[in-house]
Structure 1
Amino acid sequence: MVISLDSLTLEDGKYLVKLARRAIEEYLRTGRRIMPEDVPPRLLEEGAAFVTLLTYPHRELRGCIGYVEPIKPLAETVVDVAIAAATSDPRFYPVSLDEMDHLVVEVSVLGDHETYSAREALKKIKIGETGIIIRRGPFSGVLLPEVPVEYCWDEETFIAETCIKAGLPPDCWLDEGTQATLFRGRTWTELSPRGEVVERDLKREYIERCLNR
C-alpha cells in the first residue's frame, strides 16, 4: 500500500527528520546503515521522499537526493536518501560528521502524481503546493515544491527551471513531446541543527517572502 500524504501527522514528520539525521550521523561515524526502529505503522507503507541538507543559519543547499516513486517503505526510503544526500550528491563533496553540527535536515514526502503534456501542466501548477517532474526522451529532472518558494519563481519560471534541471532548453515545456508530472509534497524541517522540527507552510512562505515585498 502507498502512503497517503494527508494521513501524515506532525509526529510522523518529526520521526522522519530525526530518522534522517540519525541515519546520516551513524553512517558517517561507522559506515553502518541503520534499520528504522519503533516505526509508526503508517510509515511502513511505501512512500517517495527526498532528504535535503541546508547550512545553518543561511540555509544554503548542501545536498539533496530522493526517490520520486514509492518503491519501499517510507521509513526505509528516508534512511536510503538521507545517506545519499550526505555522501553521494554529485554537486557537492561528501558531508563530514563534524559538519552535521552546522546543517539542518529536511524531509519531503511526495504523493498524488498526475501527468500532463508540459504545456497543459503549466495551467495546473500551484506554487507552494506542487512539484514538477519533466520528462522528454532520455531526459528527466525534478524540482520539489519548496524550490520556487526559495527563489520567488512564478509558474512559468518554475517549469522552465525544471526543463533546465532535466538538461533541456528552458522552453522545453512548449514542445508537445515533453511530459510534466505534477505532484504534491509535504516538508518537515529542523529550525536549527538538532532543534525543533516543524512542517513548512510553503504557500504562506511564498506570500510572505515573494508577494509582500
Structure 2
Amino acid sequence: MYIIKDEWGEFLVHLARRAIEEYVRKGRAVEPPGDTPPELRKKMGVFVTINREHVPPQMALRGCIGFPLPIYPLVEATIKAAVYAATDDPRFPPVREDELDDLIVEVSVLTPPELIEGPPKERAKDIKVGRDGLIVERGIYSGLLLPQVPVEWGWDEEEFLAQTCWKAGLPPDCWLDPDTKVYRFTAEVFEEETPWGPVRRKPLV
C-alpha cells in the first residue's frame, strides 16, 4: 500500500525541479507553496537524485543528497535536498545553468530506517533487492544506498551489502562484523520521464 499518492509524488518532483532551477539561475531558495497538501508537511526522510538524460544508468548520476531520517517536513526537506544535490554533492561540480534542460529529477520518499537484528551472516537473507535501501554504520563511518541502486547495477543482496560498506568508506565485508550496524528502509520513487516532462512512479523491480 502506497503512502505517497501519485499526485503528491508529481508535486514533489516539480517542486524539486523548481528549487534546482531557481537556485542555479538566480541563487535563491524557493518557499513551500501555499497549496502544499497537508500530508506533505509531515516529517519524512527524502533524497533528491539528479540524472543526466540519454546516458546509461551507471553514468547518469549528476548529484544525490537527502535526509535519511524524518527531521524536516517533507516539503521543506525536498527543497533542501534538491538544492544540495545540485550544488553541494562533493562528487560533482555544481550544476550549471546550461545543463538544466538535460537533467532528470528524481525524488525518493523514505520510510524510517530499521535496524537489522540477528547474526551478521544472516543479514543478506533479511534484505531484498528491489525493495530495500541500506545504511551501514560503524564508528564515525556511515554510508547509504537507495533501493533503486542495486537494481540499476544488477547486484544481488551480498553485493548490495558490500557496496554499501564501500560507500561508507569501510571494507566491503564489514557487514559481517558484529560491530557494524546495518539498517534497511524502503522508498517510493518518482521521476521525470524527460526534463520538465511527465512524472511517473518509478518501479524498482
Matched, 1:122 2:124: yes
Tell me the distance in 1 between the aligned counterparts of 2:67 and 2:131. 18
Conserved in 2, the CA contact under 8 Å of 1:63 and 1:89?
A: yes
Match of residue 92 from structure 2: 92
Deviation at 1:36, TM superposition (A): 1.2
Q: Which residue of 2 aligns with 1:20?
A: 16
Q: Using structure 2 for the length normalisation, give the TM-score.
A: 0.94
State which of 41, 45, 49 in structure 2 corresponds to 1:52: 49
Runs of 5+ consecutive residues of structure 1 not aligned to the other structure = 204-213
Correspondence for 1:113: 113
What is aligned with 1:142?
Answer: 144
- Matched residues in 1 for 2:40 and 2:195: separation? 23
Counterparts of 2:121 and 2:62, CA distance in 1: 32
Q: Are the equivalent residues in 1 in contact too, given 2:116–2:126 (CA < 8 A)?
A: no
CA–CA distance in structure 2, aligned partners of residues 120 and 84 of structure 1: 36
Confirm or deny: 8 A CA contact 1:57 1:192 kept in the other structure.
no
Q: Secondary structure at the match of 1:202?
A: coil
Q: Where does 1:1-213 land on structure 2 (aligned, <5 Å)?
A: 6-37=2-33, 38-58=35-55, 59=57, 60-117=60-117, 118-203=120-205
**3-state SS of paired residue (1:23):** helix
Instruction: State whether residues 121 and 182 of structure 1, in contact with CA within 8 Å, keep that contact through their aligned partners in structure 2.
Output: no
> Whole-Å Cα distance in 2 between the matches of residues 116 and 43 of structure 1?
28
Aligned-pair distance for 1:31? 1.2
Q: CA RMSD in A?
A: 1.2
How many angstroms does 1:32 deviate by?
Answer: 1.1
CA contact (8 A) 1:119 1:176 kept: no
* CA apart distance, 1:112: 4.2
| 8 Å CA contact 1:24, 1:83 repeated in 2 | yes
Cα distance in structure 2, aligned partners of 1:192 and 1:8? 21
Structure 2: segments with no counterpart, 5+ residues: none
TM-aligned CA deviation for residue 28 of structure 1: 1.1
Aligned 8 A contact 2:145 2:164 in 1: yes
CA distance in 1, matches of 2:32, 2:18: 10
**Aligned equivalents of 1:73 and 1:121: distance in 2?**
31
Give the distance between the partners of 1:157 and 1:9, measured in 2 at CA: 32
Deviating beyond 3 angstroms after TM superposition, the runs of 4 or more aligned structure 1 residues are: 117-120
Q: Which amino acid aligns with 1:22?
A: R
Q: Distance in 2 between matches of 1:73 and 1:97?
A: 28
Between the aligned residues of both structures, percent identity stands at 50
TM-score with structure 1 length normalisation? 0.90
